[in-house]
Amino acid sequence: MKSKKTTNLKKTLNCWLSNSRVVGRGLFLCVVIALATTFIADHYGGPTLLYALLFGMSLHFLSEEGACKEGIEFAARTILRLGVALLGARMTLEQVGDLGVGTVVMVIGSVSMVIILGGLLAKALGLTRELGLLTGGAVAICGASAALALSAVMPRNNNSERNTILTVVAVTTLSTMAMVIYPLIAGVLALADKQAGIFLGGTIHDVAQVVGAGYMISEETGDVSALVKLVRVAMLVPVVMVFMWLFRRSRHHTGETSRMPLLPGFLVGFVVLVLINSLGFIPDSVNDLMTTLSRWCLVTAIAALGIKTSFQKLAVVGWRPVILMISETLLLLIIVLVAVTFGGLGT
């Protein structure tokens, strides 16, 4: 009896070690890309996610076959979802309440309108509704992180990964441009520090660029902009649930229903971390560690997605998706500017 248990344990360990070796090669490659691109961004400037994406795309041949394939898939799915879940450690319910009802309503309204417009405008441009909703969600919520989270609950097809990569590239580029241009707009309009914070936090796509733009103006602007941005990040939860409901039939037809739970684990993790952080149970040191881990997970995942995508597939996309995302960005800019200048937010 004892020898039988020992044999089963050995088999389990051997199986685990074998799977670890299979996944480990590709995962190690993605981590190396994440380390290299983070070093470049920290020392020479620029968006880390975009660097990781481009580095990964240059190694596309590794995803088609060979020893790295399984690890790349693991990073693109499991590591991605872990990174999104850990985003919940960045915010608390008290922070949301401090902004006031008007700002929260503005965030909810702007996010909803941009996503709806994305779906409608995509059809007008001859693109798929899925691409319109994905780009709208990325622009409206939190850039590349939202694109990765939303794509995780959308049905898989021949173009889904290409659409995700296209969205990440475009939204990261637009966010970087906004980080430079939007503080100039705030200066021209002579917005007060808090107004500028609401404007920047409500319009710029990625969290890092929001923080960078906010602290270019003042410390108060930086604090407010980061907080407004985190409210937008919180919108990821209801939007992911809506997307799951919208695409439930598509997942059924493609056989994905059994693989996708009613409520994804990464979404549950996000909500739980927000609640725990709101109760003050997460020490600052642990919170910082989780935020850093989230960032590393997302960079590693984007490197994997880059490896899985070829330049040839992106080249056939054309100009219409670019027009789509620029239009969504401009709509978000107009909505938030009107709310700040005429709605009295931040005064």
* C-beta of residue 138 within 8 angstroms of C-beta of residue 146: yes
* C-beta of residue 209 within 8 angstroms of C-beta of residue 178: yes
Q: Is residue 23 one of the residues assigned to a domain? A: no
Q: Is residue 345 one of the residues assigned to a domain? A: no
Q: How far apart are CA 75 and CA 272, in angstroms?
A: 23
Q: Is residue 131 one of the residues assigned to a domain? A: yes
Cα dihedral: 186, 237, 160, 120 (round 10):
-60
pLDDT of residue 81: 78
Q: How far apart are CA 4 and CA 12, in angstroms?
A: 12
Q: Is residue 211 one of the residues assigned to a domain? A: yes
Q: Is residue 213 one of the residues assigned to a domain? A: yes
Residues of the domain holding 205: 94-284+318-340
Closest CA to 175 of 121, 211, 148: 211
Q: How far apart are CA 211 and CA 202, in angstroms?
A: 12
* C-beta of residue 266 within 8 angstroms of C-beta of residue 152: yes
Q: How far apart are CA 207 and CA 313, in angstroms?
A: 28
pLDDT of residue 302: 80
**Number of domains into which the chain is organized:** 1
The H-assigned helical ranges of 141-255 are 144-151, 160-188, 193-203, 207-217, 219-234, 236-246, 248-253
pLDDT by 10-residue block (mean), the chain, 347 residues: 55 54 83 93 81 85 78 84 80 76 90 94 90 93 85 78 83 81 91 91 84 80 83 86 79 49 66 88 90 88 79 67 92 93 76
Record the pTM.
Answer: 0.69
Q: How far apart are CA 167 and CA 155, in angstroms?
A: 16
Q: Is residue 225 one of the residues assigned to a domain? A: yes
Q: How far apart are CA 193 and CA 21, in angstroms?
A: 52
DSSP characters over 256-273: -TTTS-SS-HHHHHHHHH
Q: How far apart are CA 318 and CA 298, in angstroms?
A: 27
- DSSP letter at 79 equals I
pLDDT of residue 155: 79
Q: Is residue 347 one of the residues assigned to a domain? A: no
Cα dihedral: 244, 250, 253, 258 (round 10):
-10
Q: Is residue 81 one of the residues assigned to a domain? A: no
